[in-house]
Amino acid sequence: MPRSDRVALITGVTGQDGQFMSQLLHSQNYRVLGTTRDVASAAPKLRPGIREHVELVAFDASGPDAFVDCIAKHRPTEIYNFAARSSGARMFEDPVAIAMINGVAVARWLEAIRQVDPSIRFCQASSSELFGDTTESPQSESTPFRPRSPYGAAKLYAHNMLGLYRKHHGLFACSALLYNHESEHRGFEFVTRKVTAAAAAIALGGDVELVLGDLRARRDWGYAGDYVRAMWLMLQSHAADDYVLSTGITHSIKQLCEIAFARAGLKYENHVRENLSDSRPLESVLLTGDSSKARERLNWAPQTSFKTMIEAMVDADIARLRANSN
């Protein structure tokens, strides 16, 4: 594998963002390393075309010197931290594990950078969940944080530690306040992929009833590839800072269903059942981001529309199901 003066280490490399970032960095002539607990099981999770360009390195975060040893051995010039326990209803069942993975692990990366090589640039994939029960819309970098879940609280700890290391130790550490971002590689537990997968299955003759919560719920959805590009630009900037990454436009679950099922040649009303007992109350303040800082300072803007993204997801799910049936 060719060597490069630019070496990027990606945690969570097999996830949606990790694979998009691997692809982008390879196109920019980086040497790309991806951490994983088990190299053998991680390799098949990488998509063809990416698998050949990522060096998987074994990493056990529970070891007392794991973070320092990893940096000292591989000497990355940039680190992108995408490893996290995801949000969802079950997060309340194990808040301590979420605190360790989503919060404390970030502090350990920052401390390892400080000890081994303070010139390493670090990007933390943070979340709009930090805003939680916000009282203003849209939300920007100056909006007060009010997390309402263990996931958001852990991410806030990581965000605050990043700011402290940047201020007191001069580290080049950036936090990306990410709003929902989707793609054909999104996990099936997320509502966008639930909808596109169901539309694809029904279009191919499957007997599927899709049960969703309140169809009026709105989200600020963007395309993962666009947001990964913004995170890369953050580490190429002349100064470290935090950025909201969002489209600034919200769509409802109903609109999501309309676009996805129409792409599959269907009417969503015939296949989607709304179950309001399974949905949380609608937010009193709309969760949507103001990404003007990223647009101005990074010269970044989302390139992929919501409709284009959802239609591509449906197409990919139809192709996946057809391939699996052969």
Catalytic residue set: 127, 129, 151
Q: Residue 284 phi/psi, 5° resolution?
A: -70, -25
CA distances from 325 to 181, 205, 318 (A): 29, 12, 11
Q: Are 256 and 294 in contact (CB under 8 A)?
A: no
- Rounded Cα–Cα distance for residues 302 and 244 (Å): 12
Sign (positive/negative) of CA torsion 109, 111, 95, 147?
negative
Instruction: Show the tokens assigned to 172.
Output: 């080049």
- Rounded Cα–Cα distance for residues 59 and 35 (Å): 6
Cβ neighbours for 302, distance < 8 A, ≥ 6 positions apart: 222, 223, 226, 227, 247
CA-atom Rg of the chain in angstroms:
20
Q: Are 239 and 293 in contact (CB under 8 A)?
A: no
